[in-house]
Amino acid sequence: MSNFDVIVLGSGPGGYVTAIRASQLGLKTAIIEKESLGGVCLNWGCIPTKALLKSAQVFEYLQHAGDYGLKADGVDKDFDAVVKRSRGVADGMSKGVQFLMKKNKIEVINGFGKVKAGKKISVKGEDGKETEYSASHIIIATGARSRELPSLPQDGKKIIGYREAMTLDKQPKKMIVVGSGAIGIEFAYFYNSMGTEVTVVEYLPRIVPVEDEDVSKQLERSFKKSGIKIMTSAEVTGVDTSGDGVKATVKTSKGEEILEADIVLSAVGIKTNIENIGLEDVGIATDRDKILVNDFYQTNIPGYYAIGDVTPGQALAHVASAEGILCVEKIAGMHVEALDYGNIPGCTYCSPEIASVGLTEAQAKEAGHDIKVGKFPFSASGKAKASGASDGFVKVIFDAKYGEWLGCHMIGAGVTDMIAEAVLGRKLETTGHEVLKAVHPHPTMSEAVMEAVADAYDEVIHL
């Protein structure tokens, strides 16, 4: 039996980052993976979807070449080639993780891992043989998968999850997307851009419901303008797959409606991968599909930890990475501070993009803050107009008394690359006036942040 200081179960953006940081800190480290290094994010999530979305964006640019004074006649897409490019990007990233494992002298163990009492893990390989390993510290980072609704059982063909949505054999003519979180919205944009007729069905009163209400309204306008049908306060109560396509029964305030499509994409959230990994045998406490941990990701059983989607924090790749780093730094005896879950940015990579951090306007009011709100539309931005991407805005929320930056919400081209300014500013406890007096380059999309802050303090110049 091999002995390690740290064994990480799962090699997604939580697991592999954790393993690297542990090795950097001088801990003898191993990582266990049942499929491909990089987990869902690198192989079936964050990275390959961005490759698909980039192809869609380029296709849209070519279709609108005339708007830029250019000619691009006979532009068409090759759906198979788009999918192939996406898979190639994912494969390249996974090989990159393999290199990082070798570089950092991390032992990679292939197989299905199961935690056992006494700080041990048994791993079943493809040949069915089980090998046992031990470690002073075992970190569970097994991630999550697409959640299934009883009314929407996935068959992988007509009713699919995100994995199948990335590798369809042929492009569907009609698609129903159930759920308007990041996954549903990104695929709705991609398939619509490729020429598929898309309908988004959302159970709650507005799409991207976790975002600020103004962002939801803007995205709905933009999506409708591009031809996507939006149904809110709507529920898929049943599906009929007996024919050539799918007939979905959708319940709304007006009654029931039957929608017909080639494929239904179920994007109604995630289910954690905590079954059959030995939690019950060890006695590790769980609640509502999550492993319970303290501020430093220790479970109720000494020597066992959990990070990422399997814990109660936000199910985001960058959260899992941050949690893993914090976890092993604590193990190594470093002085660390608990993660501030109120300052985690969220990004959705549709077009226009969405990025946000902190409180929405409604949440700030509910928390009892007297607030100042500023908003700057990209239609007033020189860079946005020149780029042909003037949809959207930057919205900022400040505490009126102390100038605390409570929240920042963006929708528009490239905003997922801009939100870090707000995250850093909030981390450093900056005030509205400090942001306003920090000179922003012109012409850029980023100066819309400064302009929005100026609007909050009645000093806006270009609006």
Q: Is 185 annotated as a binding residue?
A: yes
Q: Count Cα neighbours of 92 within 13 Å in the Cβ-side half-sphere.
A: 9
Q: Is 92 annotated as a binding residue?
A: no
Q: Is 303 annotated as a binding residue?
A: no
Start-to-end Cα distance in the chain: 68
Q: Is 179 annotated as a binding residue?
A: yes
Q: Is 50 annotated as a binding residue?
A: yes
Q: Is 434 annotated as a binding residue?
A: no
- Tokens for 415? 């905003």
How far is the C-alpha of 85 from the C-alpha of 446, rounded, in Å?
Answer: 30
Q: Is 186 annotated as a binding residue?
A: yes
How far is the C-alpha of 114 from the C-alpha of 156, rounded, in Å?
Answer: 27
Q: Is 448 annotated as a binding residue?
A: no
Selecting among 409, 433, 440, 442, the annotated active-site residue is 442
Q: Is 202 annotated as a binding residue?
A: yes
**Helix 46-63 crosses helix 182-194 at what angle (to 10 degrees)?**
40
**Contact criterion met (CB below 8 Å) for 202 and 209:** yes
Q: Is 180 annotated as a binding residue?
A: yes
**Contact criterion met (CB below 8 Å) for 267 and 163:** no
Across 333-445, the runs of DSSP E, i.e. the strands, are 346-348, 353-358, 371-377, 393-399, 405-412
Residue 442 known to be catalytic: yes
* Chain mean position to CA 339: 18
Task: Please count the residues of the chain.
Answer: 463
Task: Find the angle CA(253)-CA(208)-CA(93) to the nearest 5 degrees.
Answer: 140
Q: Is 111 annotated as a binding residue?
A: no
* Chain mean position to CA 322: 14
Tell me phi and psi for residue 428, to 5 degrees.
Answer: -85, 5
Q: Please tell me the chain's helix, strand, coil percentages from 3-state DSSP, rounded to the nearest 5.
A: 35, 25, 40
**Per the annotation, where are the binding residues for FAD?**
50, 113, 309
**Per the annotation, where are the binding residues?**
50, 113, 179-186, 202, 269, 309
Q: Which residues are catalytic?
A: 442
**Per the annotation, where are the binding residues for NAD(+)?**
179-186, 202, 269
